[in-house]
Amino acid sequence: MGIIRSLSPLLVVCFLLWPALTQAQVEDTEAQQLLTALAESSFKEKKDVVNRIAGSGDERARGWLEAFASNKLGRIESSGQFIIVLENRGRDWTVESALTRENLGEVSRRDIDTIRVNNALRNELEGILSVIDLKSPDEDNRLSAARALKGSVDDTLAERLPELIDAEESESVQAALTEALAIYRVEEQGDVAAVATLSGSLNSEARAALQQAMRSDDPQLVSAAQTAMKSIEQKLKLNRAAETLYFGLSLGSVLVLAAIGLAITFGVMGVINMAHGELIMLGAYTTWGMQQLLPGQPGLALVLSIPAGFLVAALAGIAIERSVIQHLKGRPLETLLATFGVSLILQQLVRTVISPLNRTVITPDWMSGSVMINEALSLTLNRMYVIGFALVVFAGLMLIMRKTRLGLEVRAVTQNRAMARSMGIKATKVDILTFGLGSGVAGLAGVALSQITNVGPNLGQSYIIDSFMVVVFGGVGNLWGTLLAGLSLGTINQLLEPWAGAVLAKILVLVLIILFIQKRPKGLFPQKGRAAEG
């Protein structure tokens, strides 16, 4: 009696689980039968078996067919167990169970009977796998599968697509499937009605289908294809213009970062610092150095490089100010020559200590890739982050200038140094802190530049002239002027480059600035105060 009582709970559990266990056994039996049929049937019969597997609704079906298409589906001869080969190098292959996905370890390749597939069946499998993906519960998977079908629809798949389009709930997936079917109908059937579906499409396969239709002997088809291509070309021009604008803004944001520190020091001290480009270079090399200290962690290294790059460049700037510039105040020509000499020293120091060769800074995964706006326009993430970083730095500097005591003193010294001294402001201390702040921002520009170009000893030389152009164009010492000038010059330069070339584009920009300065010698936003009058 006690034994019966102790077994009662177990019997109840078995009774409750029996339907599920039976169902699992039936499913595995059906799966075993399907795989057996696939292994033992002829190539002519295999197509029907493949369709049965695809229509079985088994979530493992896609994995089986993928393995079958790549000659990685087989069975162990001794036991008849179906397996999927995970790694087929050497004499022993790593395999897993096709039914349970359990890793079975290594098995000698001589003991494995691979289920063979020919090229004709492999081509059929591509379409069948696409249909399986189109029935996925995940909308993103269905959308990716629908986009992949463009230009690869065959006769068999074309017959099934209308049914799939009608059953699809997502408008984006439905539109992609409709376009894939229209491409097939234009290419294979010369369907004039399908041409209208492709009108305005930015897909390369759609454009190829329309170009093929334009060479047709059917005048009606040619006329419809030409009209569709005109609408596509118009959209492509707009997307190219948007891409050019994006690259222009990213270049402009780099110029803003490079010039904004120079604008501060130039405005406060009136110093033409030709070593400003080398401070940018030091920030870039700091990023590279952090990645050497933290190998395998480029994201963390980049985040730590932001304060580190600022400090390294700021300390170098203060050292330059204390050792050279403070002795040459009020003598702009001597200051220019001295800082030019400092720039050469810093370049040679980097060549000697590190290397004269360029260094590559690894871009973190979260900054890699791009955001696809449409099939003709994608925005790279690294440049997007640079634009955002430049705006954050600009906002931070504006807060410092407007909300802190240092900002108040900097504005006072900029407008009238003598009056600021008479009010008790230590102009020398302001000069040191301002030069350190401006140099630190140059270091931040180097950190940003390391993500879009190689780091080398000559990095700063590429931006020093452009930085001075931005400062002069925007107005000496004015942050808003620097922002507007940097973004404007970057965009103008990017617009001119496609038809004028890189060198001629820079020359044209320089000519435009010269003409502008003749009309407004003090820039877009002239300096205020008595210092501006002198």
pLDDT in tens, 349-392: 999 998 888 888 888 888 888 888 888 888 889 889 999 999 99
- Is 451:389 a contact under the CB 8 Å cutoff? no
Q: Examine residue 386 and state whether it is found in any structural domain, yes or no.
A: yes
What is the H or E stretch that residue 52 is in? helix 43-54
Which CATH number do you get for residue 275? Answer: 1.10.3470
Residue 446 contacts residue 335 (beta carbons within 8 Å)? no
Token pair belonging to 387: 């634009």
315 and 441 inside one domain = yes
Where do we find the tokens 């501060």?
Answer: 264
How many CB atoms sit inside 10 A of residue 344's CB?
12
Task: Give me the mean pLDDT over the 317-332 stretch.
Answer: 84
- Element holding 106 (H helix, E strand): strand 103-108
H or E element at residue 249: helix 219-269
Q: What is the mean pLDDT of residues 334-347?
A: 90
Nearest in space to 464 (alpha carbons), one of 215, 253, 173, 258: 258
- The answer to whether residue 476 sits within a structural domain is yes
The vertex-350 CA angle with 307 and 364, nearest 5°, equals 45
In this structure, the answer to whether residues 322 and 448 fall within a common structural domain is yes
Q: Which residue has the higher pLDDT, 145 or 19?
A: 145
Within a domain: 489: yes
The whole-angstrom separation of Cα 450 and Cα 445 is: 9
**What is the model's pLDDT at position 531?**
46
**Size (the chain), residues:** 534
| Angle (CA) 350 356 361, round 5° | 80
Give first-to-last CA distance, the chain, whole Å. 112
CB of 181 within 8 A of CB of 214? no
Do 53 and 38 contact (CB within 8 A), yes or no?
yes
Residue 11's pLDDT is: 37
The mean predicted confidence, pLDDT, of the chain is 82
Tell me the per-residue pLDDT of 226-249, one tens digit each, with 9 for 90 and over.
998 898 888 888 888 888 889 888
Six-digit token string for 21: 């266990």
Let me know: does 413 contact 427? Beta carbons within 8 Å.
yes
Distance between CA atoms of 10 and 20, rounded to whole angstroms? 16
242 and 109 in a single domain? The answer is: no
Cβ atoms of 447 and 282 closer than 8 Å:
no
- Does a structural domain hold residue 207? no
Q: Quote the radius of gyration of the chain (alpha carbons, Å).
A: 34
| Domain closes at, from 120, 146, 161 | 120
For 39, the token pair is 């292994």
pLDDT at 4: 44
pTM of the model: 0.72
- If you average pLDDT over residues 107-135, what whole number do you get? 79
Name the domain boundary from 73, 100, 120. Answer: 120
By the 8 A CB rule, do 49 and 61 touch? no
Quote the CA–CA distance of 496 and 514 in Å, as a whole number.
17
How many domains is the chain partitioned into structurally? 2
Average pLDDT over residues 249-261: 87
Between CA 406 and CA 412, with CA 407 as vertex, the angle to 5 degrees is 95
Does residue 401 contact residue 330 with C-beta atoms inside 8 Å? no
Residue 263 falls inside a structural domain: yes
Give the Cα-Cα-Cα angle 438, 439, 441 (nearest 5 degrees): 65
Structural domain harbouring 74 = 24-120
Whether 255 and 393 map to the same domain: the answer is yes
Mean pLDDT of 446-464: 87
The amino acid that residue 202 corresponds to is L
At which of 102, 120, 138 does a domain end? 120
Is residue 225 domain-resident? no
pLDDT at 533 over 70: no
Question: Are residues 516 and 389 both part of a single domain?
Answer: yes
- 364-376 pLDDT tens trace: 888 888 888 888 8
Per-residue exposure over 347-372, b if at least 16 CB sit within 10 Å of its own CB, e if not: beebeeeeeeeebebbbbeebeeeee
